[in-house]
Amino acid sequence: ENIAREFLDRLVKWTKNIKISDPFEEGCRLGPVVSGGQYEKVFKFISTAKSEGATVLSGGVRPEHLRKGFFVEPTIITDVTTSMQIWREEVFGPVLCVKTFSTEEEALELANDTHYGLGAAVISNDLERCDRVSK
């Protein structure tokens, strides 16, 4: 919790620099979602998150420079509770939920409170912590 504001500021700044374009264009870092149906699902997830009380901190819209295709700006959502759909289900779009925690134990509880598990990472300057938490 004590680094959340600085972390979010840096995260938003970083996502604003992601080049969103046709994947065949030089320097593209984010292309469209896979289909029109998935495009609609991503925006439905974002809309539901807002109606449930979450905050769309950044993104959550079609990029202004791309009028055709199924493009979604990288989206950062905060003020998320563990009961919200956006937290419980996989979006399969450029959407990131950020939830704060105050202790390592709370972080582990949040990370393990899912039946999904496609990928995870532990990032810290403390290698012993990385090893302990990843186990």
What pLDDT shows up at residue 42?
98
- What's the pLDDT at 120? 81
Helix axes 127-134, 104-112, angle to 10 degrees: 40
Instruction: Give 8-33 pLDDT, tens digit per residue.
Output: 999 999 999 999 999 999 999 999 99
- Report the pLDDT value the prediction gives residue 115, as an integer from 0 to 100: 83
pLDDT at 117: 72
pLDDT in tens, 65-124: 999 999 999 999 999 999 999 999 999 999 999 999 999 999 999 988 888 777 788 888
Nearest to 77 by CA among 43, 128, 30: 43
For 55, which DSSP code? E
State the CB neighbour count (10 A cutoff) for residue 103.
9
- pTM here is 0.90
3-state secondary structure of 68: coil
Largest Cα–Cα separation, the chain: 48
Per-residue pLDDT at 114: 86
3-state secondary structure of 124: coil
| Measured distance CA(99)–CA(112) in Å, rounded | 14
Q: Which domains does the chain have, with CATH numbers?
A: 3-100 (3.40.309.10), 101-134 (no CATH)
pLDDT of residue 116: 79
* pLDDT class of 45 with cuts at 50, 70, 90: very high
Q: What secondary structure does DSSP assign to 70-123, as a single string?
A: S----EEEES--TTSHHHHS---SSEEE----SSHHHHHHHHHS-S--S-----
